[in-house]
Amino acid sequence: MKKAAGSSSSTPKPTSWVLPYQTQNLREIYTMGKKLGQGQFGTTFECTHKATGRKFACKSIPKRKLLCKEDYDDVWREIQIMHHLSEHTNVVRIEGTYEDPMFVHLVMELCEGGELFDRIVKKGHYSEREAAKLIKTIVGVVEACHSLGVMHRDLKPENFLFSSSLEDAALKATDFGLSIFYKPGETFSDVVGSPYYVAPEVLRKHYGPEADVWSAGVILYILLSGVPPFWAETETGIFRQILQGKLDFESDPWPLISDSAKDLIQKMLDRNPKRRFTAHEVIAERLSEEEIGGLKELFKMIDTDDSGTITFDELKEGLRRVGSELMESEIKDLMDAADIDNSGTIDYGEFLAATVHLNKLEREENLVSAFSFFDKDGSGYITIDELQQACREFGLSDVHLDEMMKEIDQDNDGQIDYGEFAAMMRKGNGGIGRRTMMRSSLNLADALGITENKCLNGD
């Protein structure tokens, strides 16, 4: 489904440049390689950075396809949004942008594991456990987008890539060409997206960020069953089903799927966007009992009047009882951040979502601190020499360092970048690299604030 033309579509752009600044010539910095894919507006190639030998993906958009000012603005907005989201672990990182008289080039991290769509086709459908892991990543991206005032507007399995061909490779969102910045309460009317995944309110031309949650719900249905929830032979038929069709939970494999999974899908695919789950609520709903841990009891402890919601005064008193020294203004900021629906109180779902989000941020900060310890020269990479130095400091044997480098160094460039380090620390296996790194990291626990439990469960 193409983007609907706006009122400015016939207005010619006064200049033929997308970027508001000059750039170097792409081919002076990168060597172009094989074609990776073809989209509506651009072609993606593999490219190699001449100075470092590192491989990237380059999306090249021919300017002849940019027919009006709106098209130029759309490309510039896509670049801005990618930079806006570039620090998120599950968003394809943008490395740089280049422009010449014929093309605009977006250089991004290379994800060699292919599309989620291709893995679904190959597998047929995922187990409930596998699907839960994937949808938490997808909804986590949606939550991050919405918290930063971005609507993706084209969520589908084709727009999620695996970082490598490994079974447990990281899943990353890509293609923000239809994404847009929005303000709370703002609605949109242009019909955009892909037929199977578009929300009913988009077809009715009055929608907001809730449309992304609908699309994620469609993806979850497909992950579990291998087929879309609303389908027909024609685009018109698909839209009719989206507006009026009934969810099929009778056909295989649905009788074998848990009621909680089906209930979640129904809450994500509620045709009323006001009743539909938010990204925050989806994440809280899908937490396992182990992940929730003592949060339920903590919520009850803070909710002294047993009303099911936490007021500002209850939060302040609860934090005081657990020894917090936060100032009142900081507690107010916490309250505002957690109170998603602006009700003035925090319900259980908001409490869970906010707590999990803070824990993730804390774990990420701990990983960054640990990486910085090993990266002695601050180059952004850990070398074999730096590993040997760390081993000497903590009296560890360095006999297995070569094997350890091979285990962690996924792109075989002879050094460990932050992504490779984080992937190794988050893995649940007992590989040589993880054991050695873990022993060194645990010795840093006091300095970095990392407990043994956080290290061993740092996912």
Q: List, by residue number, the catalytic residues.
A: 154
How is 13-57 classified by DSSP, letter by letter? Answer: PSSS-SSSS----HHHHEEEEEEEEE-SS-EEEEEEETTT--EEE
**Burial (0-12, 13-18, 19+ Cβ within 10 Å), 185:** exposed
* Dihedral pair phi/psi, residue 224, rounded to 5°: -85, -25
- Both tokens of 450, joined, read 């990392």
Question: Identity (one letter) of the amino acid at 200?
Answer: P
Across the chain, how many H-helices and E-strands are there?
A: 20, 13
In whole angstroms, what is the distance from residue 49 CA to residue 59 CA? Answer: 15
Is 316 part of any known ligand binding site? no
Residues whose CB falls within 8 Å of the CB of residue 342, separated by 6 or more in sequence, listed in order: none
Gyration radius of the chain's alpha carbons: 24
**Burial (0-12, 13-18, 19+ Cβ within 10 Å), 254:** middle
In whole angstroms, what is the distance from residue 157 CA to residue 116 CA? Answer: 5
Half-sphere exposure of 67 (CA within 13 A, CB side): 7
Bind-site residues for ATP: 59
Q: Which residues are known binding-site members? A: 59
